[in-house]
Every structure is written in C-alpha cells, then in structure tokens.
Amino acid sequence: MKTEKREKTPPATSLHEPARRLPRKSREARFSGIAISPGVAIGAVFDTSEPPALAPRRVVTEAQVEGERQRLDAAVAASRKQISKLKARLGVLPEEAQEELEPLLDAYAMMLSGSRLIRGARRRIAEELLSAETAVNDEAEAIAGAILAAKDDDKAGLRRRAGEVREIGRRLTRNLTATPFRSLKEVPAGSILVAEELTPADAALLDPTRIAGVATEEGGSDGHTAIMLRALGIPSVLGCTGLTEAARRGDEAVLDGGAGTVVLRPGAAALEAGRDALAGYAREKSRLAKLRRLPAITVDAEEVELQANLEIPAELPLIAQAGAQGIGLLRTEFLFMNREDLPDEEAQVAAYTQVVEAMAGDGVTIRVLDWGGEKDMQALADGIEPFHAGPNPALGLRGIRMLLKKPDLLEAQFAAILRVAGATASPIRVLLPMVTVPEEVRQAREIYDRVVRRLRRRGVPLPDKLPLLGAMIETPGAALAADAIALEADFFAIGTNDLAMYTLAVDRAETEVAHLYDPLHPAVLRLVQFATEAALRLRMPVSVCGEMAGNPRLVPLLLGLGIRTLSMNASAIPRVKQVVRTLKIDDCARFARRVMEQGDPKRIQELVMGFGEGGADRH
C-alpha cells in the first residue's frame, strides 16, 4: 500500500532508534493498509522492535564439530521449551485464537523434532564445518527457497509455509546467540503498537486489555498473525508501507481497524473524526452489552437458547458478561494439558464444581476428554502403550475411541461428573466426542451405568435424574447414522468445525487447501439437516456448537433447519442474540428450504449474505 498525504519532513529515525526525535512541528501523516480487525484506537505509538541476532557466517574446525552439535541441541531444547510455554498460554486466549495458533505451534514443534531442518543443520555442521547458527540459517533458507519455487497457484500459502520455516530458523538463531526476543511486558496501557512485522507468537503475547491497537508494515489479511489479531479483538491494520520510518515512540495516532487507516500526529479535524468513530464504536458495544439482560426470542415468540463454549475456567467472567444461558460445551482437555501425570477424580471434581457453581443453576454440558495424537498431552501418550500417533492423528485413535480403549480414564471422568451433579443439584449433561457408530454410545453407557452403581454402593449422593449422555455429531458417518445413534443417545451436539473438515477432506491449518474449507458447502449443510431431523423426530434435544453457531449470518439458516440451541464463543453471543430478536421462524424455515435446494456453494453464500435484503428470504 502507498502512503497518502505524506508530508516532507527532516530525515526521521526509525522506531529502532527511539533516542532521536522528529521535530515538534511534524505534520499529520496518513497511511492506508489492510483492514484486519475492526475497532478504533487513539493512543501513543510504542516500539515493538527486537534487537537483531548477530550471527555472521562462521566456519569451525573438525575438533569443534561436536561442540557445535551440542550447541544446536541446546538451542533446539530451549526452543521447544519456549513453544511449550506458548502452548500453555493458549488457554487464556479466545477460542478462535487457540484454533489458529495451536496447529501452528504443533508445526513448530514438529520442525524442532528430527525434521529436515534439524537434520540438515546437523549435516552442514559435520560436512561443511559450519557453526551451528550458520548451518541453521543456510538450511532454513534452502528449505524456504524450495517451498517458494514449488509450482502452486497458492502463492500466499507457499509464503506462509516458507515463513514458518524461517521463523523456526530465527528462533534457533536467537537462542544460539543468546539474543533476547521481543518483550511486551513494559508496554504502557492504551498504546498502539507499531512494528515492521509481528509473528503469530508475538500476537499470542498481546494483552487485549492493555493494547489499544496494532499497526505493521508487513502482513496480509490471510496470515496467521491477522487471524490471531481478529480473534483477540484488537483493532489492527497491517501492510502500512512506510509507517515505521515516519513514526516515533510517543507520537499520537488514530487507528481505524475497520477502514484500514492509521493517522500519525493527527490534526484537529482527524482527531475529532477519530474520536467520533471511537464513540460510535463504543456505543455499538454498549448497545450489544445491553442485550445481555434481554431474552433470545424471535419476533413470533420462539425461544432460542444461546450458550457458551468454555475452554478453561478463567473464561467464566466473559461468559457471565455475554449473558449466556449456560455452557453448551465445556472442553475438559485443559485438565490434561501441560502435566506429567493424569488428573485424578478429586482434581476433576474440584474443576467441574468451580464451573458448575459459577453458572448458578444454568446448564453445563461437559464433554469428556477429546484427545488425539495431534495434541500435546505427554501424560496420556505415556499411559497408552503402545501409542502411535500415526501419519494422520485426526483419523486415528482419538475421542471416544481412545476412551473406550482406556476405560479407566472414562470412568474417572464419569465419576467426577456424577459426584458434582449430586452435590450441586445443577443441570449437567455429559457429551461423548468423535462418535461414529451406535455401538460406541452403547459401550460408553455400560461404563456410565457401572460407575453409577459403584457410587451408589459407596453411598455417594447422586441426583434423582442422572445427567443425560449425549453424542457429538462431527463426522459424516455419525451424521448419516444419526437415526441409529439417536436411539442410543439422550441428545445431539453437532460440531460443525470437524464435520466440515471430515466431509470436505480439508484441514484448515494446511495452507494449500484451507481455501476449500466451506461450512456452507451443500454436503455439510445436508449432514447438519439429516442429524437435526433425526433428533427432532425423537423429540430429542439437538444443538450446534461449532463456528457456524456463532456466525450471525448463519443464524436464520440454522433456525430454519430446526435448531433452537446454539453454543458459541462467549464474545459472539450479543450479536447472535441481536439477530435472533429480529427474525420470524416462518421466514427462516422458507429461507432454509430455498438454501437446501441449491447445489452451488457460491449461490448458497449469496443467499445467506442477502437474507433480509430485497426480500431474499421471502421468495
């Protein structure tokens, strides 16, 4: 992007040299970039640069080879530890940020574990007598160059993959040279961060309560960092060419993440316009916040239950602020992450009690452990012998498959949930992940009933009405077998994220095919419809708990298909409720019938985007 209205000023130092200052009379400078995350920020610029790693090319003697290998091994160990710490931080990030960063951190971990990069660097040390940092740099550039030279129309995807390799090379080099990484600990509250570029790992360290906005020279709308910034809800503009050269620490700036603009040293008119935009954005947020006290009910008095997905207990205040009617999906993986031993029954009782009591009588659906070989749970990997993640963990031993193979894990979770249900008298449900056939539900229920009998023999108080046992519908097989599974389960929760992935054979973390991921693909919608109708025929509760549930544009379609319970990221609830309160169920049903007649995903997208405009929902 080109800068606009750039004024000629005396030569300015970059942000990397904060000691020098532009003259006080420097004029307003306006920049256009890529609108990444909506919102308006007015604040002082703060430098987020990091010192360069000084690693000149260096050769070694044969006697030094072993020492260089040991230095490389130490840098790899340090890098893996840093990645593990970032993964531990995932729990405090919004769900969308976790879903973006976790696969990327997994990829980083793989590159630090016997990958071509590490093997190649070790070979260069031995054969070319290079220092560890020189070997890492040469190998990383060779791999990145090969990726960029590949014949593929998805050039953006190739650039991301090459960037991932270079990022690990950069991390190793900084550890080899003991060069500190970017620090965000001293950022003053209300600052606007300005940098040449932010990595996804940098974005994961941002505190949305302190950072007013982010602007960079590099980056695009489809990169990992952009997705992270959107998930964090920080007003952001990327791709502002020339910004770091013109900015200085302490400059006042007005950033509009929706318009994609940054104004440095704004004049009176620009500052007033920024303040007006900020006030308008605040009014919109306030208006949505007021919806918290209003019911999610359609114009024709049809009630819709809006629940929240919960990753960790620390998110409970956000759920309360959003006005959720309970927790539709409590993921229990947080209990098993970043620990060397398995949580016992008592630890699980304490964790579930905290969540259930915080909901003050609202329902909580607890999904038992959904673990596959792609997740970093060392305690589980050590406990399953022999354990092999396989070439594609998503299609291997995960979810209910793993739990039935390790019934002691399932029994401990069932016992903890039942004890909490008896002690709190709160409405609790139990959800089984990755169900594909009715037999899995039958086997799980046998274990469930066995645990109930054991607890009763021990005199443990249990509720008169035991928690319902439901099945998560997240594979085409489960959706197509929904009629049979419905005879075994007490309720359905349709997980549209995995359902779309398995139906379309697309991993959103794979840049080469991510553009093919489309929850509005007619095949995905028909599976949602099939599972919903199977539940409704038996008057069985059914909900949607994937990203589709939190997309306001898709609410009319889901209601039209018969869904009345939606579970989503807490931050999405106000906007979804706003839409629900404008709808009529008859209009939604007619709209859904029209959508389900379509075979072209693009036409479906057009209908969804046009609902309510020009009578699109009434013909």
Q: Which of 573, 574, 570, 577 is nearest to 314 (CA)?
A: 570
Q: Which of 16, 388, 515, 545 is catalytic?
A: 545
Measured distance CA(475)–CA(482) in Å, rounded: 10
Measured distance CA(243)–CA(224) in Å, rounded: 21
Distances (CA, A) of 567 to 307, 501, 609: 4, 19, 22
Measured distance CA(311)–CA(204) in Å, rounded: 16
With 0-12 / 13-18 / 19 or more C-beta atoms within 10 angstroms meaning exposed / middle / buried, residue 372 is: buried
Q: Which of 472, 522, 477 is nearest to 497 (CA)?
A: 472
> Is 588 an annotated catalytic residue?
no
Distances (CA, A) of 548 to 310, 476, 517, 566: 16, 17, 13, 9
The pairing of strands 492-494 and 542-544 is parallel
Measured distance CA(394)–CA(58) in Å, rounded: 43
Where would I find the beta strands (DSSP E) of 131-266?
A: 191-195, 211-216, 236-238, 252-256, 261-264
Measured distance CA(240)–CA(535) in Å, rounded: 51
**If phi over 0 gives left and psi between -120 and 50 gives alpha, with beta otherwise, what is residue 211?**
beta
What element of type H or E holds 425? none
Phi/psi at 400 (5° precision): -65, -25
Distances (CA, A) of 268 to 26, 596, 599: 14, 53, 54
For the chain, helix (H) and strand (E) counts, in that order, are 23, 17
Q: Which of 16, 224, 240, 619 is catalytic?
A: 224
Measured distance CA(343)–CA(334) in Å, rounded: 10
CA torsion 150-202-41-215 (nearest 10°) is -40
Measured distance CA(494)–CA(558) in Å, rounded: 11
Measured distance CA(234)–CA(286) in Å, rounded: 17
Distances (CA, A) of 311 to 100, 218, 225: 14, 32, 21
Where would I find the beta strands (DSSP E) of 426-552?
A: 428-432, 468-473, 492-494, 542-544
Measured distance CA(342)–CA(408) in Å, rounded: 11
Residue with tokens 């020492």: 67
Using alpha carbons only, what angle is made at residue 163 by residues 160 and 169, rounded to the nearest 5 degrees? 155
How many residues would you count in the chain?
A: 619
Phi/psi at 264 (5° precision): -90, 140
**If phi over 0 gives left and psi between -120 and 50 gives alpha, with beta otherwise, what is residue 268?**
alpha
Give the single-character DSSP code of 27: P
> Is 545 an annotated catalytic residue?
yes
Q: List, by residue number, the catalytic residues.
A: 224, 545
